[in-house]
Structure 1
Amino acid sequence: MPKRTVAARCAIAIATLAAAVTLQPTPAQATAKYGCPYPWVCFMKGPYKSSSAKVVAKYQDVTNYYQKVTPAASGSDWLYNSRNDDRVQLVLEEETNAPFCVRPNSTETWSIKDPSHIMIQTQSACKSS
């Protein structure tokens, strides 16, 4: 049996390690919940907190202003914030009160009015009311 050189053994070890590393799922893939991938804020249509609900709109840009949501988001049933550190401020249609806050990695539902505007902020805590 021929002797392998140290360099050849190292090359085989590195190739094996590289193959093993590339087969591992990324944290974002491993933590997707309700079909909503990290780092998105997803508007969902269907049963609350159910894997059968569908993502109908999603947002990921952090802004210092409110974005008007799309018609699909406006007709959604609930929201999932998959972000780890960022909160979401959500305004409902014709709402005269302050927007409500959705903490990181949490959900929110509504029943009477549809969402009209969204703002993703880098703060994680929601102010107490």
Structure 2
Amino acid sequence: MTTSARSVRIERVAAGRYVAHNAGGATLPIGGDDFSPVELLLAAIGGCTAIDTDVATSRRTEPTGFTVTVSGDKVSDRESGNRMENLSVTFHVRFPEGEQGDAARAMLPRTVALSHDKLCTVSRTVERGTPVRTVIE
């Protein structure tokens, strides 16, 4: 087992508006008319498995269409707290006709399953129920 630390820094820029910064210098606005934290969670789940799948299948051929839709139900529960349920990741992927497209289509289910079962850190962390520790400095 190996570990590799990751982090982002989130900075308040106005009431209800924030910017996430990563170590590479990229920024992502959060709140207001931008992505909500729940939407970012959905995007992280879908983005993680989309990248795994795209890297593997596009070695055979470039897709002619590649869309991943992630959905779920936000539950507001006074007793057990807010959470997402019924999370679903749906792939809409098309490859060109021909031998290379056939090869990419054939490996798509296996690649999606491998991402879900082993590779995607985001969905695996959610499914595992990893505790989140909060600290006030």
TM-score in same-fold range (> 0.5):
no
- Bigger RCO (CA 8 Å, 6+ sep): 1
TM-score of the two chains, using structure 1 as the length reference: 0.23
Q: Give 1 or 2: higher helix fraction.
A: 2
